[in-house]
Structure 1
Amino acid sequence: MQTDDASSTAPDREIESLEEFDQVVARGTLAGFRVQSVDLTDRTSALLSTDTAEAVFLGCPMDPEAAAKARAGGALVFPPVPDLPFDPYRGTLYSPAELFEGLATVGYERTPDALSYAWFQRTKTDGDIFGSMLRAVHDDAVSDALDELLTGAPVVGVMGGHALERGTDGYAGAARLGRTLARAGLTVATGGGPGAMEAANLGAYAAPFTDPMLDEALELLAKAPSFSPSIGAWAEIAFTVRERWPDGGTSVGIPTWFYGHEPPNAFASHIAKYFANATREDGLLARSTAGVVFLPGAAGTVQEIFDNATPNYYESRGEPTPMVLVDRDHWTRRLPTWPLLEALAEGRSMKSRIALVDSVDEAPAALASLRG
């Protein structure tokens, strides 16, 4: 994954921090640059003396005189939107600390994550084009930040049900899977929620530590098995794990406010949270360039299997993406998805890129084999 340093964004003419802003100004011009959510109230002199032709300032606080000068110089200035619990123009992905800010002091209901969901609930059906625009701009900004982060990274998606509880064998297996994949140099990406998704992100977080760390973390987390009835208690113990073992491994979570009952997990280092679930689903699968592992799940996971299989069937992505389904009994008897997937693959190149395994511990080797 790329880091969020100036060298990764400046060539794209995007400025997402004061450091980048100062570097660009030092080169003599802001012409044509896009500045996203950078507080420029202390950069008035730079704005007054620098060319801003065809620049765009998205949600950047600045002195009125500086804003007027930028507009007169040919820039578009979109001011910050007041009274929003989220920043529609953000230039970077979310962190767990940002979404859960205030958890320990004011409770989950007053965190940015919960407030953003409440705003979405109030506005999603009110017919106000301004709200629709804000959601669309936000989601596009998140996609842009996600693309910047994952450029060149071998991403493996891990899909599975949100109902899988901490303290179960299935949860521990999903965590071991995430750890193994991360240690193999792959970037783990999940739907960013609880259950199997959290477990895989936890495993990636545990990758830099010795093996006993994950066992201890699993024991701690089992004290709050589910996000129901208390999201706060569920999240707080996750942050306890992070505080006991800081600086864990990186991974990506891609959740959505469409499912308000499904909070983001605290173990993904980078969180791309969307308002539009369809954008989130397609984006997660499309970015899983190194393959996808499907753990046992219900309707949502079945949908993801065929969402991923469709472009493989038509070979619209070029080389088909490897797909590994875990738990033979689940995918052949309980939810007989595998027979249909095999039938679709017959006679097509995707046939050599799908596998069904009995246990989660077999999945990494199966994925490595499919990737060649």
Structure 2
Amino acid sequence: MSEPAEPSEPDDRRERQTGPVTLRGDQVPATTTDQRLLDSRPTGHGADWLHTDPWRVLRIQSEFVEGFGALAELGPAVSVFGSARTRPGDPAYELGVQVGRALVEAGYAVITGGGPGSMEAANRGAHEAGGTSVGLGIELPYETGLNEYVDLGVNFRYFFARKTMFVKYAQGFIVLPGGFGTLDELFEALTLVQTRKVTSFPVVLMGTAYWGGLVDWLRSSALSHGTISPADVELVHVTDDVADAVRTVSTWDDQVRPWNPARRGTIDR
């Protein structure tokens, strides 16, 4: 998942996926489920939340149950992130297609946010290569639904439930150029690795020109001020080469599972 695409003018063709439910036209609400959960502004009597939030827990629980059930037998997979605003023909889009294809050839399923742009590109590469193409959609104000290259799709209302699935069912992250949403997922993954909530989890940034400034800032500012350690900077691997990106993920994966019968492909080492 990355930042939402540019919003279009509301009309009768609006569509939103709310969990398993599809809403169109006048049925599309003005707010999202996440927004209503997190918005602390009062909407009547101050104790109204007592009659709503406890029930939200059941809906949140159902999202975890649905996600776990859908992905439990997925096998080795890699989550790929990038901008929703990338268009076909853009070098970043074509890079996403190559990444999706190469991951499938190396024996991995591909997980994305299921949207357009770079997410669609990675799903497309996986789908066209005959692999498993997964999309984890999210309810957004201008949600467009899952892209056409998703073979296995799960729609979520809550970001935190969805983000759990990105990490739990992946052997690593490959991050294409993206905006706020991509940065959110990138730094959440790095935080989980840094704090050892997850182990042996590679994070690869595709595009030295795009990500170089961020990595330089980590070294020149964050590291120099002592807010991160030298080892933290090494948690990311930056490359322009698709084979190198996939090899980085598979090398980490092999350290955890030296023999992995679910990996049906190989890449040059």
Fold match by TM threshold 0.5: yes
Match of 2:212 in 1: 332
Give the whole-Å Cα distance in 2 for the aligned partners of 1:110 and 1:296: 26
Alignment equivalent of 1:164, drawn from 73, 76, 86: 86
Alignment equivalent of 2:145, drawn from 253, 263, 269: 263
Give the whole-Å Cα distance in 1 for the aligned partners of 2:89 and 2:190: 32
Alignment equivalent of 1:113, drawn from 22, 27, 52: 22
Change (3 A) 1:369 1:157: same
Question: Contact (CA 8 Å) 1:135, 1:275: kept in 2 or not?
Answer: no
Give the whole-Å Cα distance in 2 for the aligned partners of 1:122 and 1:287: 26
Give the whole-Å Cα distance in 1 for the aligned partners of 2:216 and 2:57: 36
Aligned-pair CA distance for 1:354: 3.2
Match of 1:346 in 2: 230
Give the whole-Å Cα distance in 2 for the aligned partners of 1:139 and 1:172: 36
Aligned-pair CA distance for 1:324: 0.5
Question: Which structure has the larger Rg over C-alpha atoms?
Answer: 1
Partner of 2:132: helix, strand, or coil? coil
Q: Read off the aligned partner of 1:142 and give its amino acid letter.
A: E
Match of 1:147 in 2: 68
Aligned-pair CA distance for 1:367: 2.2
User: Which residues of 2 match residues 197-216 of structure 1 at below 5 A?
Assistant: 197-208=119-130
Question: Contact (CA 8 Å) 2:16, 2:142: kept in 1 or not?
Answer: no
Instruction: Give 1 or 2: higher strand fraction.
Output: 2
Give the whole-Å Cα distance in 1 for the aligned partners of 2:24 and 2:59: 15
TM-score, length-scaled by structure 2: 0.69
- Cα deviation 1:174-197 (Å, max 9, x = unaligned): 012112112222121111111111
Identity %: 26
User: Which residues of 2 match residues 354-365 of structure 1 at below 5 A?
Assistant: 354-360=236-242, 362-365=244-247
TM-score, length-scaled by structure 1: 0.51
Q: Read off the aligned partner of 1:184 and give its amino acid letter.
A: A
Give the whole-Å Cα distance in 2 for the aligned partners of 1:109 and 1:305: 28
Unaligned runs of 5+ in 1: 1-105, 209-248
Change (3 A) 1:122 1:256: closer
1:322 aligns with 2:202: yes
Aligned-pair CA distance for 1:306: 0.9
Give the whole-Å Cα distance in 2 for the aligned partners of 1:157 and 1:176: 14
Match of 1:297 in 2: 178
Change (3 A) 1:355 1:136: same
Instruction: Give 1 or 2: higher helix fraction.
Output: 1
Aligned-pair CA distance for 1:167: 2.3
- Cα deviation 1:230-269 (Å, max 9, x = unaligned): xxxxxxxxxxxxxxxxxxx422211211343453212212
Match of 1:277 in 2: 159
Question: Contact (CA 8 Å) 1:253, 1:272: kept in 2 or not?
Answer: yes
Aligned-pair CA distance for 1:361: 5.1
Q: Read off the aligned partner of 2:202 and give its amino acid letter.
A: P
Alignment equivalent of 1:254, drawn from 136, 150, 154: 136
User: Which residues of 2 match residues 1-372 of structure 1 at below 5 A?
Assistant: 109=15, 112-115=21-24, 118-119=28-29, 121=31, 125=36, 136-151=57-72, 153-208=75-130, 249-288=131-170, 290-317=171-198, 319-333=199-213, 336-337=214-215, 339-340=217-218, 343=223, 344=228, 346-347=230-231, 351=234, 354-360=236-242, 362-372=244-254
Partner of 1:264: helix, strand, or coil? coil
Change (3 A) 1:168 1:338: same
Give the whole-Å Cα distance in 1 for the aligned partners of 2:59 and 2:77: 23
CA RMSD of aligned residues (A): 3.3
Unaligned runs of 5+ in 2: 1-11, 37-42, 255-269
Change (3 A) 1:338 1:122: closer
